Each structure stands twice: as C-alpha cells, then as structure tokens.
Structure 1
Amino acid sequence: MKYQLIIITLALLAALSSCKKDSESTIFYWNETGCAAPWKQDSDDTEEERKAEIKRYLENQNVKVEKIEFEFDQAKMQNCYACHCTTGRIIVVKVAWSDMHIMKQLNFYQ
C-alpha cells in the first residue's frame, strides 16, 4: 500500500510538471498614442475595428491573441496633438505565455 501511494504521488507530480506553459496566458499593456502605433489607426474607428487592427498586427507577428480590452487612465493622457502623445487609453492584451518574448520585443509592457 505504501508503494502504491508513492507511485501515485510520483505519477501526479510528473503529470503536473509536464504541463506546458503554452496553455497559460499573460497580460501585456500598450499606452495608445495619437498616431505612433505600428498598426493602422484611425480616430473614427470603433472599438471593435481598433481591436481587429491590433489583433491582425499581433497575429502577423506570430502572437496568439486571446483577448483585447481597453482601459482609460487620465494620468496617462497628454494634451497635445503630436503622434507620440498618449491618449490615456491603455490597450490590454491577453496572449499565450509562450509569446511573452515577442510582446516585449514589440514594446508592450507588463
């Protein structure tokens, strides 16, 4: 009985340690700018159109996008009209854990 318990415990540990990180997700952020993003931006875009553009861009970079949302932080809003000025909108992207390195290369942050 003691040996069965040890074998079952070892089997469970082996199964848990073999789980791939690919099935896990992580969150990244991007501070939206007036027009300096690497994807197509149009001020008349709806949220859904904007999400589609961001998703298309990331998928072209071989990133597995799980979800895109927007948040707003007034402290990050700059009152200027240059392309590099931030709008206060924060793009929140949930991606596969395995794409963490790519997201950092694309200047997303955690």
Structure 2
Amino acid sequence: MHVTRFTDAKPYEAKRHHAMVALQLQGGAESATEAFTCGLSHFLPGGGAEMSASAAEKLYVVVAGEVTVITDGGEVVLGPLDSCHLAPGEARAIENRGNAVASMLVILSKPKS
C-alpha cells in the first residue's frame, strides 16, 4: 500500500492549463501505479484548460465548485460529485466560469508500453 497524505501532495505542471494548481495524489512521481494516475486540480475563477486531446482516457470528478467541460459534442456543467468520462483522443476544454475555486479529481490512464 502507498499512502499519500494531502499535506504531502506535490504540485505538478499541467500543460495548456491556466489559473490552476494540480496536486499529484497517486502515480507519476508519487507512486508506482501501473494503469493510471490521480491528481487533484484546483481551478481559480476564470481558470481552465485549452481545447486539446491526448492518448489518455480521463475521468473527472468534481469535489467542490463547478466546472464546464466542453467537447466537440457540446458542453456540460459539473457540480460536486458529478463526473464525466473522456475517451482516448477526445478533445476537451475546461472552464471555471464561477467566482469560487473549483476542485476536481483527475484520473488518467497511463499509456500502454
């Protein structure tokens, strides 16, 4: 078992994101997960992520506030404990359109080697 205490979680860079701080909870440099990584993203008001796609499968779970997830198929507002799945290669943008910080668990699949 590998435990990551929230107080010990390390920030990491997330490309094409703005007004956001991401903390690595599991995977990456934090633990030896084989299939996925898990982070916690805090989006300031006006923060978000540019429209982009990656090879990773993504799960988003909002834990506080609201975020808008935009895809080629439309957009959806996610509130606390709402979640969404994005398939590998599916482009998305993220926006915090509110005045409160929005926090979201981000679970990403690791590329198969």
- Answer whether TM exceeds 0.5 for this pair: no
TM-score for both structures, normalised by structure 1: 0.28
TM-score for both structures, normalised by structure 2: 0.28
Q: Which has the higher contact order (CA 8 A, sep 6+)?
A: 1
More strand by share: 2
* Greater radius of gyration (CA): 1
More helix by share: 1
